[in-house]
Amino acid sequence: MSSNHSIIQERTARTEWFLQDRFGMFIHWGLYAIPARGEWVRSVERMSVEDYQTYFDEFDPVRYDPKAWARAAKQAGMKYAVLTAKHHDGFCLFDSALTDYKSTNTRAGRDLVREFIEAFRAEGLKVGLYYSLLDWHHEDYPAYGDRIHPMRANENYAREPETFHRYVQYMHGQVKELLINYGRLDIMWFDFSYDHMKGETWQATELIAMIRSLQPHIIVDNRLDASGEEGGSIYTKKPVSYSGDFASPEQIIPPEGVVDDEGNSLPWEACITLNNNWGYTAKDMQYKSAATVIRKLVECVSKNGNLLLNVGPDALGEIPRESLDILAEVGSWMQKNSASIYGCGQANWPKPEWGRYTQKGNLLYAHLFEESIGPINLNGLAGKVGKARLVADGSQLFLSRPWNAAQYPDDAFLSFAKPESASYPLPDQRATVVELELI
Ligand code: GLC
């Protein structure tokens, strides 16, 4: 049994690449792309396995081209990706020997996980798999009386609690298959714990020991131990073996980042949808703008966190056009500005009024979201900045205290052009990035 101290040390070593990479793609894909009402459709609409069977019978993603997905991720500046190998509906996108409920038995006839892994690796991206701890298809998973199961109100689905261990065995067996059959994986993303369905209910100590013995470098999220509502013991100085390597705030960016109970920063990754659904939802057009995505990525990094941005490919296997367009625009910004993202983290300076800072060593990156009137105020930085350059093109910017800033001796002032006392529009309305060399 490792001590808390060594658990934290090992976590720090394992997550080093993760904290450099900062930006990943989440992919929610499964049978639920056909009803196209989100990945919870079975639960929300209380569909039985039989009701849902029609989607299994139809599933035929003829346009599945994971190489195209990988190119879109890479072009957006993403460094890793996580695909739903199995979601709550229990349907497996991989060729598991432990179930018939898998993509190889559909018209697809392919191991979709294998193709995903090969395609993303070929683009130089790290690969992770999402695996649902819940399983609404398995006969030994609690149904009647469970808070979430599609058959929660149907007495015919009362399960014998004594048989639950068969599900746990199945779940461990599938995780083992994923770890043995697909080469080196970078992330194992479990989802999720709730009520008493957490920790040792999943036999988490044993599960994590198996994971660490097969792929010691792999990083694991915190959801074996925690639900979405609470973070679990990773948030404390006393993490257990299955507390996970990173926290996974969902659809929220934590106000002050994520710290343990002594205020030390923890590895974390906000998972965020592009519209308001994880799984493909034909009618959901509430997409975030590329500018919002860019600013939220900056916000995560400014708080020492990562952004895992979701796409929900459709039933035929294509990422929606709207999502691809946003990713392409984020990519055009990243192509010019990623030096302010990769390997960067929280700055030693508080959040400025016009945007956010990120920092890497002596380079302080000012991300300007808001135009200023007159020179741009760098609070408290008088005499501390050597030079300023626009990250997008390396061009010189101006540091001085023009006449209209004379009353603020402790601050430095930045201008895009001369005269420095004037106002200038931001070169990039989404986020203009200025590299400030600290001296
Ligand atoms: C959840 C949901 C889910 C989604 C996930 C992403 O807790 O159940 O459908 O996969 O979070 O974080």
Query: Measured between alpha carbons, how far is residue 8 from residues 3, 102, 132, 186, 235 in Å?
Result: 9, 37, 25, 18, 11
CA 248 to ligand 1: nearest atom: 12
428 lines ligand 1 (CB under 6 A): no
From ligand 1's centre to the CA of 210, what distance in Å? 24
124-162: pLDDT as tens digits: 999 999 999 999 999 999 999 999 999 999 999 999 999
374 lines ligand 1 (CB under 6 A): no
Q: pTM of the entire structure?
A: 0.97
Q: How far apart, in whole angstroms, are the C-alpha atoms of residue 298 and residue 84?
A: 26
Q: Whose CA is nearest to atom 10 of ligand 1?
A: 278
From ligand 1's centre to the CA of 27, what distance in Å? 11
Q: How far apart, in whole angstroms, are the C-alpha atoms of residue 275 and residue 292?
A: 12
Average pLDDT, integer, range 390-395: 98
- The total number of residues shown for the chain amounts to 439
Cβ neighbours for 357, distance < 8 A, ≥ 6 positions apart:
302, 347, 349, 351, 364, 365, 366, 367
Half-sphere exposure of 59 (CA within 13 A, CB side): 25
Residue 217: which of 7, 21, 13, 6 has the closest Cα? Answer: 13
Which residues sit opposite 191 in a β-bridge?
Answer: 132
Six-digit token string for 127:
């690969």
228 lines ligand 1 (CB under 6 A): yes
From ligand 1's centre to the CA of 191, what distance in Å? 7
Indicate the domain borders of the chain.
3-340, 355-438
271 lines ligand 1 (CB under 6 A): yes
Tell me which of 191, 229, 284 to substitute to probe ligand 1's pocket, judged by most ligand atoms within 8 Å of the beta carbon. Answer: 191
278 lines ligand 1 (CB under 6 A): yes
CA 250 to ligand 1: nearest atom: 12
Strand order in the sheet with 385-390: 355-360, 363-368, 432-438, 385-390
Q: Is the pLDDT of residue 320 over 80?
A: yes
Query: Measured between alpha carbons, how far is residue 54 from residues 20, 47, 211, 268, 279 in Å?
Result: 43, 11, 35, 38, 18
| DSSP structural state of residue 436 | E
Residues 133/197, Cβ–Cβ less than 8 Å: yes
Question: 355-438: what fold?
Answer: Immunoglobulin-like (2.60.40)
From ligand 1's centre to the CA of 252, what distance in Å? 13
The structure tokens 């470098």 sit at: 217
Tell me which of 32, 37, 268, 278 to substitute to probe ligand 1's pocket, judged by most ligand atoms within 8 Å of the beta carbon. Answer: 278
CA 26 to ligand 1: nearest atom: 6
pLDDT grade for 382, boundaries at 50, 70 and 90: very high
CATH topology identical between 3-340 and 355-438: no
Q: How far apart, in whole angstroms, are the C-alpha atoms of residue 355 and residue 359?
A: 14
Cβ neighbours for 44, distance < 8 A, ≥ 6 positions apart:
37, 38
Strand 385-390 and strand 432-438: the pairing is: antiparallel
Average pLDDT, integer, range 244-266: 94
Contacts of range 379-384, beta carbons closer than 8 Å, 24 or more positions apart: 379/349, 379/350, 379/352, 379/353, 379/410, 379/411, 380/349, 380/410, 380/411, 381/349, 381/411, 381/412, 381/436, 382/409, 382/410, 382/411, 382/412, 383/412, 384/412, 384/438, 384/439
266-307: pLDDT as tens digits: 999 999 999 999 999 999 999 999 999 999 999 999 999 999
CATH architecture of residue range(s) 3-340: Alpha-Beta Barrel (3.20)
162-195: pLDDT as tens digits: 999 999 999 999 999 999 999 999 999 999 999 9
| DSSP structural state of residue 279 | S
183-235: pLDDT as tens digits: 999 999 999 999 999 999 999 999 999 999 999 999 999 999 997 778 899 99
The b-or-e profile of 159-175 (16+ CB within 10 A means b, else e) is beeeebeebbebbbebb
Confidence at residue 2, expressed as pLDDT on a 0 to 100 scale:
57
Q: Whose CA is nearest to atom 2 of ligand 1?
A: 191
From ligand 1's centre to the CA of 361, what distance in Å? 35
Residues 414/398, Cβ–Cβ less than 8 Å: yes
Confidence at residue 352, expressed as pLDDT on a 0 to 100 scale:
98
Residues 22/342, Cβ–Cβ less than 8 Å: yes
CA 134 to ligand 1: nearest atom: 8
Rounded (5°) CA angle 397-401-402: 95
The H or E element that residue 390 is part of is strand 385-390
CA 40 to ligand 1: nearest atom: 9
